[in-house]
Structure 1
Amino acid sequence: MGKVSVTLNGRAFTIGCEDGQESYLRELARHLDTHVTDLSKQVGQIGDLRLLLMASLVVVDELKTAQNRLEALESHLNRLKSESSAKPAESAGADGLVEALNGISERLERLATEDAS
Structure 2
Amino acid sequence: MATVTVEVNGRPYAVGCADGQEERVRILAKQFDNQVRQVAEDVGQVGDLRLFLMSALILADELHEARLGGGRGAKAGATPASVATAVSTDGVAEALNAVAARIEKIAQNI
TM-score, normalised by the number of residues in structure 2 = 0.62
**Which residue does the alignment assign to 1:5?**
5
Q: Secondary structure at the match of 2:69?
A: helix
CA RMSD of superposed structures (Å): 1.7
Alignment-mate amino acid for residue 44 of structure 1: G
Which has the greater radius of gyration?
A: 1
Task: Name the structure 2 match of 1:25.
Answer: 25
Q: Distance in 1 between the 2:35 and 2:23 partners?
A: 19
Instruction: In structure 2, give the amino acid aligned to 1:13.
Output: Y
Counterpart in the other structure of 2:83: none
1:95-116, Cα deviation, whole Å (9 max, x unpaired): xxxxxxxxxxxxxxxxxxxxxx
Structure with more helix by fraction: 1
Give distance in 1, aligned partners of 2:60 and 2:41.
20
Note the alpha carbon deviations across 1:11-50, whole angstroms, 9 max, x for none: 0001111100001111111111111000101111000010
Deviations for 1:57-97, whole angstroms, at most 9, x for unmatched residues? 01101110110118x966xxxxxxxxxxxxxxxxxxxxxxx
Aligned length: 73
Structure possessing the higher relative contact order (Cα contacts under 8 Å, 6 or more residues apart)? 2
Distance 1:29 1:37 in 2: 12
Whole-Å separation in 1 of the counterparts to 2:32 and 2:22? 15
Q: Which amino acid aligns with 1:6?
A: V
What is the percent sequence identity of the aligned residues?
45
Q: Gaps (5+ residues) in structure 1? A: 75-117
Compute the TM-score of the two structures, normalised by the length of structure 1. Answer: 0.58
- Which residue identity lines up with residue 68 of structure 2 in the other structure? N
Distance 1:58 1:47 in 2: 17
Counterpart of 1:60? 60
Ranges in structure 2 where 5+ consecutive residues have no aligned partner: 71-77, 81-110
